[in-house]
């Protein structure tokens, strides 16, 4: 009755043992072989995959070729008010091009019909800001209009993010911010608007930066946001600024919200906050090799040129900007060895002659011609750049020649700028002093750097040209690209 007896009981252990051993060995060998083959295949795949993955990564992350950013790729948001716009609209008119530019001037209440329509074809549209009374503002001594100015970002993006024309950048400034449009567009061309960028510059004053932020783009100098960043920022901007009722200004609110997205400042020294008073000559004549992008607080400064008003002096500067915007204020230094003179050409603005040889590093230090923005005690005159003394005795200062006019020759593209000496009642040796010179003529060609040169700019050189002037009252200078191994220096003997 044991029909279903277990099979193992019909064999002795001795007869089954060899069968089991052979099978186990075969299984073990087969398993080892399979594991070995798997290991070889895995190593081969793992060795190939990182290379393929890296190549794919760089292929996808590599910047795709794109055209230069033009000013019509940029949308402007300009913060203003009912009270300030009438006095500042003429500054905007200097640089605004209604045919190519898009944007809006944001005011706190509707302007009168007369003011709103006067020269409207030469100015950006006027937009009345949305009500911001629901937001908290707790900064003691501040102005809650800062919230309205900050929200220019949100309102501008909402207005233009569905535009039929491509928007690459949003740029924000005050109604007294003067932009150089060509230079702004070329500067932004260095950056891919499809990535997140927050671009601008800090204040010239150390204490201003310490209080408000060393990594914050100051709004008066201008703030540029790539469209990809601005679109994301706008989605939750209101909830972000609600977290910061204690901040002072609108630019501080933009800054903290950008920081919360993990983005830091891309510093561009061509944006100028100008937190100074008085004579801006020292800052302008030591301008960076980067293009001049903006000027701010011009009403707090002396006229840029002698015998002119503040506004007319800016107009005069723009006469040079129109012919060669990327060269404006670019500094070239050359040496006149017969008299040991150091000659500095800040194109479109001044030529200065020091009656001694100066090392270039000392020439580049900013002459302290200006006064601090506010009284911060001894920190008031601590700046974010190196300075050198501006001698209180005008007769011991460099001889300064201001741009009189600029013109272009259609045939060969030569640009001629003429500079006349600013008169000072000083006695001098009529043979060896630069004060004997009355006029300086500077010859150049239009500066048109490509993106590579913009990313790694190099200062240009200049030469003193022989002149037909027999009385020594005229000097001619040519600006040119430096030779590959050329140093801007004078020979040191001994």
Question: Is the model's pLDDT at 49 over the cut of 50?
Answer: no
Confidence of residue 59 (pLDDT cuts 50, 70, 90): very low
Q: φ, ψ for residue 364 (rounded to 5)?
A: -75, -15
pLDDT, tens only, 424-483: 888 877 778 899 999 999 999 999 999 999 999 999 999 999 987 668 899 999 999 999
pLDDT, tens only, 160-217: 988 889 999 999 999 999 999 999 999 999 999 999 999 999 999 999 999 999 999 9
- Predicted pLDDT at 139: 96
pLDDT, tens only, 331-345: 999 999 989 999 999
φ/ψ bin of 132: left (φ > 0), alpha (ψ from -120 to 50), beta (otherwise): alpha
Lowest mean pLDDT among 37-41, 155-159, 294-298: 37-41
Question: Is the model's pLDDT at 11 over the cut of 60?
Answer: no
- Predicted pLDDT at 9: 34
Cα 338 from chain centroid? 39
- Predicted pLDDT at 114: 58
Question: Is the model's pLDDT at 27 over the cut of 80?
Answer: no
- Predicted pLDDT at 428: 79
- Predicted pLDDT at 26: 60
Query: Considering all CA atoms of the chain, what is the largest pairwise distance in Å, rounded to the nearest integer?
Result: 141
- Predicted pLDDT at 374: 81
pLDDT, tens only, 378-396: 787 889 999 999 999 999 9
Question: Is the model's pLDDT at 15 over the cut of 90?
Answer: no
- Predicted pLDDT at 4: 33
Q: What is the mean pLDDT of residues 317-340?
A: 96
CATH fold for domain 71-273: Spore Coat Polysaccharide Biosynthesis Protein SpsA; Chain A (3.90.550)
* Higher per-residue pLDDT: 20 or 339: 339
Q: What's the token pair of residue 140?
A: 């003691």
DSSP line for 77-110:
EEE--TTTHHHHHHHHHHH--TTT-EEEEEESSP
* Higher per-residue pLDDT: 255 or 54: 255
- Predicted pLDDT at 184: 98
- Domains of the chain, residue spans: 71-273, 326-480
For the chain, give the percent of residues with pLDDT over 90. Answer: 75
Confidence of residue 65 (pLDDT cuts 50, 70, 90): low
- Predicted pLDDT at 427: 84
pLDDT, tens only, 421-440: 998 888 877 778 899 999 99
Report the relative pairing of strands 276-278 and 265-267 from DSSP bridges.
Answer: unpaired
Question: Is the model's pLDDT at 33 over the cut of 80?
Answer: no
How many CB atoms are located within 10 Å of the residue 103 CB?
22
Q: Could you tell me the pTM of the whole model?
A: 0.85
pLDDT, tens only, 247-278: 999 999 999 999 999 999 999 999 999 999 99
Average pLDDT along the chain: 88
Closest CA to 404 of 466, 348, 334: 348
Tell me the torsion sign for CA atoms 49, 51, 52, 54: positive
3-state DSSP call for residue 349?
A: coil
* Higher per-residue pLDDT: 464 or 11: 464
pLDDT, tens only, 69-101: 999 999 999 999 999 999 999 999 999 999 999
3-state DSSP call for residue 402?
A: strand
Q: What is the mean pLDDT of residues 266-294?
A: 96
Question: Is the model's pLDDT at 120 over the cut of 90?
Answer: no
Question: Is the model's pLDDT at 31 over the cut of 80?
Answer: no
Confidence of residue 24 (pLDDT cuts 50, 70, 90): low
Closest CA to 325 of 173, 180, 424: 180
Question: Is the model's pLDDT at 62 over the cut of 80?
Answer: no
263 in Cβ contact with 196 (< 8 Å): yes
Cα 482 from chain centroid? 24
* Higher per-residue pLDDT: 354 or 119: 354
Lowest mean pLDDT among 43-57, 134-148, 453-467: 43-57
Closest CA to 194 of 148, 236, 240, 228: 228
């Amino acid at each position: 009755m044991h029909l279903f007896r277990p099979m193992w009981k019909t064999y002795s252990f001795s007869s089954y043992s060899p069968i089991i051993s052979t099978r186990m060995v075969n299984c073990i060998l087969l398993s080892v072989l399979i594991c070995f083959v798997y290991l070889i295949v895995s190593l081969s795949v793992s060795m190939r995959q990182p290379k393929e993955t890296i190549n794919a990564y760089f292929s996808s992350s590599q910047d795709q070729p794109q055209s230069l950013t033009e000013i019509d790729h940029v949308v402007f948001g300009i913060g203003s008010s009912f009270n300030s716009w009438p006095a500042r609209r003429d500054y905007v008119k200097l640089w605004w091009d209604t045919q190519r530019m898009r944007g809006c001037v944001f005011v706190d209440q509707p302007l009168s019909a007369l003011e709103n329509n006067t020269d409207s074809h030469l100015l950006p549209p006027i937009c009345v800001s949305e009500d911001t009374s629901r937001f908290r503002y707790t900064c003691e001594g501040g102005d809650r209009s800062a919230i309205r100015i900050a929200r220019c970002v949100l309102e501008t993006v909402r207005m233009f993010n569905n535009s039929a024309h491509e928007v690459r950048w949003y740029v924000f400034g005050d109604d007294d911010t003067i932009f150089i449009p060509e230079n702004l567009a070329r500067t932004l061309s260095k950056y891919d608007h499809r990535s997140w960028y927050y671009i601008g510059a800090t204040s010239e004053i150390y204490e201003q930066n310490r209080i408000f932020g060393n990594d914050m783009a100051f709004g008066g100098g201008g703030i540029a946001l790539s469209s990809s960043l601005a679109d994301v920022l706008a989605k939750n901007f209101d909830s972000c600024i609600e977290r910061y009722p204690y901040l002072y200004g609108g630019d501080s609110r933009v800054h903290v919200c950008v920081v919360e997205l993990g983005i830091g400042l891309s510093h561009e020294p061509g944006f100028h906050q100008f937190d100074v008073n008085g004579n801006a000559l020292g800052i302008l004549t030591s301008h960076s090799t980067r293009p001049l992008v903006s000027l701010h607080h011009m009403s707090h400064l002396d006229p840029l040129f002698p015998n002119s008003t503040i506004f007319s002096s800016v107009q005069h500067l723009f006469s040079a900007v129109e012919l060669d915007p990327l060269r404006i204020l670019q500094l070239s230094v050359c040496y006149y060895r017969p008299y040991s003179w150091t000659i500095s050409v800040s194109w479109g603005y001044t030529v200065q002659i020091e009656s001694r040889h100066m090392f270039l590093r000392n020439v580049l230090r900013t002459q302290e011609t200006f006064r601090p923005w506010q009284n911060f005690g001894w920190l008031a005159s601590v700046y974010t750049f190196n300075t050198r003394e501006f001698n209180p005795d005008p007769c011991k200062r460099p001889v300064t020649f201001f741009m009189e006019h600029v013109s272009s020759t259609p045939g060969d593209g030569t640009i001629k700028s003429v500079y006349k000496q600013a008169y000072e009642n000083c006695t001098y040796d009529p043979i060896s002093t630069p004060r004997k010179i009355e006029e300086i003529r500077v010859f150049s060609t239009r500066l048109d750097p490509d993106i590579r040169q913009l990313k790694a700019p190099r200062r240009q050189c200049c030469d003193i040209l022989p002149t037909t002037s027999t009385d020594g009252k005229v000097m001619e200078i040519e600006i040119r690209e430096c030779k590959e191994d050329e140093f801007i220096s004078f020979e040191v003997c001994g």
